[in-house]
Amino acid sequence: MATPVGFFTDTTLCIGCKACEVACKEWNQLPDNPIQFRDSYDNTGQLDQRNFRHVRFVEQATSNPDKPIAWSMMSDVCKHCANASCLEVCPTDAIIRTEFDTVYIQQDVCNGCRDCIAACPYGVIGFDSTSGTAKKCTFCYDRLQNNKMPACAQACPTQSIKFGNLADLRKMAADRVQALQAQGVTQARIYGDTEYGGLHAFFLLTDKPEAYALPNAESAVLPGRNDVPGYLAVAVTAVLGAIGGLVAFRRRGERA
Amino acid sequence: MLTEHFVAAPHWEWYILAYFVAAGLSGGAYVMGTMLRLWGDARDLPASRLAFFISWPLLLVCPILLTLDLGQPTRFWHMLIDSRTAGLAFKSWSPMSVGAWALLIYGIFSTVMFVVALGETRSTPALLPRLSRVGGTLVGRAVMVVGALFAVFVSAYTGVLLAVSNQPVWSDTWTLGGLFLASGLSGASALILLLARPRQDAMATDEKLLEADRYFIILELVLIALFFVTLGGVLTRVLSGGWLVLWLVVLVGTVVPLLVHWRPEWRRRLSPNLAPILVLLGVLALRAVVIFSPQS
């Protein structure tokens, strides 16, 4: 197995240029987005089958009257979770873990059941009605196999998106948080060290995860948590239903 | 603590709604047929046969609906066979995977019981009456009961499938599997009642089916209450705007039949088919509101 790879996205360096989105679309030959007028510079909207990268413009009100709105930008992407919800539920094994420890949807195996879309806690996966399959960031699997870095990381002009060996990136991220906190950015934190067993695409944030539409540690839970309680409820209902049937059918039978 | 959701909707819509209804009623009907044979008397056999006659065609619709809903319908077999290794594709922790296999196995039992029931009727080919005699043996009963376990699963697992996700509402409750089972049993009782009434031979079971349906409706109402309680903060997702109309249909489809079943004098005043029809509308509305409201 090759060395596990990752993306470390430092949101404090993101300028919202969307070079990553363009490079991703170009390399992966993704279709254009339909024209929409949104009340924001964020005209991409969300991650889906057309957008494997999405520069999120997080607009927040401030107490400064000269600067009433502050922007935090974050280039969002599939997190390639160590414990991936999509991979857990996929009934056809179309979703696999690659030799680079990333999560990949095999387009020739996926039958478009969309269970992975229901399971992904980050809303990353979209359904492509043309191919009839689920699609998301491939971590540029084809480029990795040819020793090239993913297109988005290569295009990023500010080094906000860093690609490399996962262990090295985690060390780099920890150092960066320490440096920012020393400079007074006390809100600086890493998202993705522990969530879903550790994310392969993790982020340096300057606000709580919810502000970036990321589930917090309590909410980052796997779909399988409902497996046993759900089946238990079925079993109890089945027993009670059978008792109901026994009472209704047998008693009258005895009277006859 | 309830989970905060940032998910996308899978767009499971009309085919899935139709499948959930068909699977719920088919499984429920098979279970009713089995219980009538196990615990009823000879007069209940026509109603039991009717249950198996209902169960089989409803089951046949299920894989068709599921296949039509796929983005790549010709790859439906990927649910059962690993297309890369040609081995079996089975994941015990994925309700969709287990459900695909359960549907296949239940299909075998449902077909066997349909043939057995057909063999018990007159004007069938000579081979069938011989097959039908198997139904009365210990082995026949064992086969029927094992089939009923798969029928329960098929009727209920769709609720567990929804819960094993990260969608709002669906993943915030553990009640959906039990709720769909109770509703499936109630709906199947109503369907048997509706179809039995024009037949003189199946009428003998009428009162028993009404009583059973009362118990199933009470069970369903308890599970609906638990469903609401477990949703906590996301309750507004299912109890807002137009969804209230569907909940009203669910309410009418449970409470009114319950009262009508209980009071023979009300039953005499109203059309005898009203309560079963309301129950079936409630079965449809319940699944519609559960499937559609979190995705809107």
pLDDT band at B128 (very low <50, low <70, confident <90, very high): low
- Contact: A237, B177; criterion CB under 8 Å: yes
Across the interface, do B208 and A120 touch by the CB < 8 Å criterion?
no
Name which residue leads in pLDDT, B242 or B30.
B30
Closest chain B CA to residue A235: B178
- Chain B nearest CA to A47, separation (Å): 9
The alpha carbon of residue B287 is apart from the nearest alpha carbon of chain A, in Å, by 16
Q: What is residue A253's predicted lDDT score, i.e. its pLDDT?
A: 46
pLDDT at residue number A68: 87
Of residues B12, B41, B164, nearest to A224 (C-beta): B164
Tell me the chain A residues in contact with residue B193 when contact means C-beta distances shorter than 8 Å. none
CB contact under 8 A, A48 and B11: no
Distance, CA of B162 to CA of A224 (rounded, Å): 11
The 10s digit of each residue's pLDDT in B141-177 is: 999 999 999 999 999 999 999 999 999 999 999 999 9
Q: Which of A58, A226, A246, A250 to mutate to test the interface with B (most CBs of B within 10 A)?
A: A226
User: How does the average pLDDT of chain B come out, rounded?
Assistant: 92
- Are the C-beta atoms of residues A73 and A56 closer than 8 Å to each other? yes
Q: DSSP letters along chain B, please?
A: -PPP--PPP----HHHHHHHHHHHHHHHHHHHHHHHHHHS-GGGHHHHHHHHHHHHHHHHHHHHHHHHHSSSGGGGGGGTB-TTT-SB---TT-HHHHHHHHHHHHHHHHHHHHHHHHHHSSS--THHHHHHHHTTSHHHHHHHHHHHHHHHHHHHHHHHHHHSSS-TTGGG-S-HHHHHHHHHHHHHHHHHHHHHTT-TGGGGGHHHHHHHHHHHHHHHHHHHHHHHHHHGGGHHHHSSTTHHHHHHHHHHHHHHHHHHHH-HHHHHHS-TTHHHHHHHHHHHHHHHHHHHGGG-
Cα–chain-centroid distance for residue A164?
19
Average pLDDT in the B236-245 region? Answer: 92
Identify which of B97, B120, B128 has the alpha carbon closest to the alpha carbon of residue B36. B120
pLDDT at B267: 73
Residue B273, pLDDT above cutoff 90: no
Q: Which of A90, A249, A251 has the most B C-beta neighbours within 10 Å, making it the best mutation to test the interface with B?
A: A249
Per-residue pLDDT tens digits for B67-88 = 999 999 999 999 999 999 999 9
Residues of A in Cβ contact (< 8 Å) with B89: 91-93
Complex ipTM > 0.90? yes
Query: Which one is predicted more confidently, B51 or A64?
Result: B51
CB contact under 8 A, B12 and A118: yes
List of chain B residues whose C-beta atoms are within 8 Å of the C-beta of residue A121: 5-7, 166
Predicted local distance difference test score (pLDDT) of residue A35: 83
Q: Give the gap in angstroms from C-alpha A183 to the nearest C-alpha of chain B.
A: 32
pLDDT at B38 over 90: yes
Q: Contact B166/A127, CB-based, under 8 Å?
A: no
Q: What is the percent of chain B where pLDDT is above 90?
A: 77
Q: What is the pLDDT of residue B241?
A: 86
- Inter-chain residue contact A215 with B3, CB threshold 8 Å: yes
The answer to whether the Cβ–Cβ distance between B83 and A213 falls below 8 Å is no
Give the nearest partner residue to A132 out of B71, B96, B166, using CB atoms: B71
Helix axes A227-255 and B176-196, enclosed angle (nearest 10): 30
| pLDDT single digits (tens) A178-191 | 999 999 999 999 99
Instruction: Please give the backbone phi and psi of residue A18, each rounded to the nearest 5 degrees, phi first.
Output: 70, 20
Pick among B1, B2, B5, B7 to test the A interface (most A CBs inside 10 A)? B7
Best mutation site among A114, A195, A234, A239 for testing chain B: the one with the most B CBs within 10 Å? A234
pLDDT per position as a tens digit, B182-237: 999 999 999 999 998 887 776 778 889 999 999 999 999 999 999 999 998 899 99
Nearest CB neighbour to A127, from listed B11, B95, B215: B11
Which portions of chain A are predicted below pLDDT 50? 253, 255-256
* Confidence at B2, pLDDT banded by 50, 70, 90: low
Mean pLDDT of B12-31: 98
3-state secondary structure chain A: CCCCEEEEEEHHHCCCCCHHHHHHHHHHCCCCCCCCCCCCCCCCCCCCCCCCEEEEEEEEECCCCCCCEEEEEEEEECCCECCCHHHHHCCCCCEEECCCCCEEECCCCCCCCCHHHHHCCCCCCEEECCCCEEECCCCCHHHHHCCCCCHHHHHCCCCCEEEEEHHHHHHHHHHHHHHHHHCCCCCCEEECCCHHHCECEEEEECCCHHHHCCCCCCCCCCHHHHHHHHHHHHHHHHHHHHHHHHHHHHHHHHHC
